[in-house]
Structure 1
């Protein structure tokens, strides 16, 4: 086991701020899986999530000297990821406005399930999961983020409230509204 595995995030971040690439690599390894999961659920596209994850780690590296060691590193990193997700959403909105609907070569079109060669049950399950992912991705940020943090990432409502700078009651209300909206959008789809 390496020495970096025993170090706290704050200690690794301090070393990374001093130019230690290995310390930053250890932070990336430590947070990559949970951060990718958050981004993928936010965006709804696994391939695009990898791009956003990479952008997040690049931005975090560039801003590592501004990290406040008194706050959890995961919270700081997730805030950067959230901003990158929102940036991507704005870029896509501009592209849709300028170029219209997505084309058949887009990542969204490529990720649609191919029914040939798959068992019918697996296809239906994949379609339900994809429909849920797309529905979550279409939620407004104020509903999507609390839902992802609490229901999919396992944060408590208190932790999500602290992450977002709102009250626990606000988190409860937003989760309720997100669930209602998803139920209305997905209708009879069995999830």
Structure 2
């Protein structure tokens, strides 16, 4: 039996639709929320790495190492989230343009950012991500998606820990009366 090109493409496309007991509406809604979280994580990862590379000042070593640890933690969250969308039979992100389209965060391309400003900006971004994860968790609850909710619970805790560390580090950096 031979397939023509159109049939082959349809078969390939159908193979992306992983079977699930969740409805197509549920998986589409959940994947949309997950993909926004993945986009936010990419932007936060790059911003954290940017600040890691460019931090300076008396607390350089501590801030540099903390931001490196945090960027690694953020990066490690991306693949499980993206794979969760695929497990639901839905596509995930395919490009930097799509990431920038979906993210709620803003990039920082300034030539110089003080350590205090870096830490506060990252703290606020982590707070925003935690809020978005909680909202996504609510969507998971609506569709009885305990697997995604479970992932989010771990990531919310990690995000809150990063927020706490950034808050305390910002207090240390705030020796100039910001």
Q: TM-score, normalised by structure 1?
A: 0.27
Tell me the TM-score normalized by structure 2: 0.28
Could you say which structure has the greater relative contact order, defined with CA pairs below 8 angstroms and 6 or more residues apart?
2
